[in-house]
Amino acid sequence: MKSHHKLLLNKNYRIQRFPLLLRVVVAIILGLILGRLLPESVGRVFITFNSLFGEFLSFSIPLIILGLVAPAIAHLGRGAGKLLVLTAAIAYASTVFSGYFTYFSCMELFPDIISREAIPDGIGKETVTGLQPFFMVQMPPAFQVMTALVLAFTFGLGMALLKTKYLQNTFDDFRDIVSIVIEKVIIPLLPFYIFGIFLNMIRNGEAFAVLAQFSKVIVVIFTLHILLLLLQFTIAGVIGRKNPLKLLRTMLPAYATALGTSSSAATIPVTLKQTIKNGVQENIAGFTVPLCATIHMAGSTMKITACALAIMYMGNMPVEFGTISRFIFMLGITMVAAPGVPGGSIMAALGLLSGILGFNEQLQALMIALYIAMDSFGTACNVTGDGAISVIVDRIAGKHEQCLS
């Protein structure tokens, strides 16, 4: 995976003049302002683009899942034996815990702060109101989302067990193609897509109601991710027999770096340095920190779960425990593919949002907008939590464990 990360780090993790968050914010503002001002014929041009882009996105989702998840699982399976299993199990447990922590917290908070009547018709329903495209082009996906997930797990585990370099190289090339599509096509066009969504929503009278709810959701997620970090380091402190607040304070430089870069991979050197300062053996930290940057996505899982629940409330959609549980468990696995790919977390999750939660294109666009608005905070939560996992692994592995020799 080193060449893959190098390919993406060269361009995607440098400080950009116009970061994606800024472009999305500008797109939303312009959509709100121009929604009532643009002539209908001009507005329909953007809606036609949205129709085409939405079809292409639906076509791409199964390919994104297969192209990212399969090689990620295959590479993960080539790790360092028992230490890999231990670290992966703790990271996955942390990610799933984050999902359930978010779910139960939001179920308590959202009924009081999010109104299901804010959008009477429900944003999750297909509607003929608003602007209509000039024409539509159907782009049916090659296979369904669940088929893509099963294929990804089957090929990924198969390649890990067989250790075949030929099929692995093919999937690595396929992953790079998918990454380029995300980087060069989907991500650059997302602001235009979101602009079209809000342009149409302002005509339907939905946009300001949605944004009012978004502001509440952002505050909730920020609060929850601070609480999650306190929980993670409390557990790490108890297991590692160290002061949890001191552990967390030592990791703050990694948190701050992640806020600036919005990248788990780009923050690895700082995370590694601070983890060693927390007393973790250098060989243990050198293994767990890069690995957790790939597989530990508690912060991203929190954002996606909370945003999904919020949109389901706004759209007056049923929120069932069994469905959300299936979503959280699958999301924890799918997130393995996210690091190293710009917008990878939300891109990898789109298939689950549509396949399990039933999100349509409009809901997916709202998810993307809401997720990007908090992108750096989720990444900061991910990498800071990696330090807690390293402390736990270091304690369990023992001072004289030679797992990496």
pLDDT by residue (tens digit) across 110-157? 888 876 655 445 444 444 445 678 888 888 888 877 788 788 878 888
Per the structure block, which two tokens stand in for 112?
């009081």
Domain extents in the chain: 20-403
pLDDT along the chain (405 residues), means of 10: 44 51 82 84 87 85 80 67 80 93 93 67 46 83 80 84 84 88 83 83 71 83 93 94 93 85 74 91 84 84 91 85 93 69 70 86 80 79 92 78 46
pLDDT attached to residue 81: 61
DSSP code of 13? S
- Alpha-carbon Rg for the chain in angstroms: 21
pLDDT attached to residue 7: 42
Q: Assess contact for 114 and 213: CB atoms under 8 A.
A: yes
DSSP code of 15? P
Per the structure block, which two tokens stand in for 326?
């299936």
Q: How far apart are CA 86 and CA 91, in angstroms?
A: 9
Instruction: Match 């149409």 to its residue by tokens.
Output: 200
pLDDT attached to residue 232: 94
**Other C-beta atoms lying within 10 Å of the C-beta of residue 313:** 21
Per the structure block, which two tokens stand in for 95?
């990610």
pLDDT by residue (tens digit) across 261-311? 666 766 888 888 899 999 998 888 888 888 888 788 898 899 999 999 988
Whole-structure pTM value: 0.75
Per the structure block, which two tokens stand in for 35?
């929604």
Helices (H), 315-374: 321-334, 344-355, 361-372
Q: How far apart are CA 213 and CA 200, in angstroms?
A: 18
pLDDT attached to residue 84: 77
pLDDT attached to residue 16: 47
**Is 20-403 assigned to CATH 1.10.3860?**
yes
Q: Give the sign of the dihedral formed by CA 128, CA 319, CA 323, CA 53.
A: positive
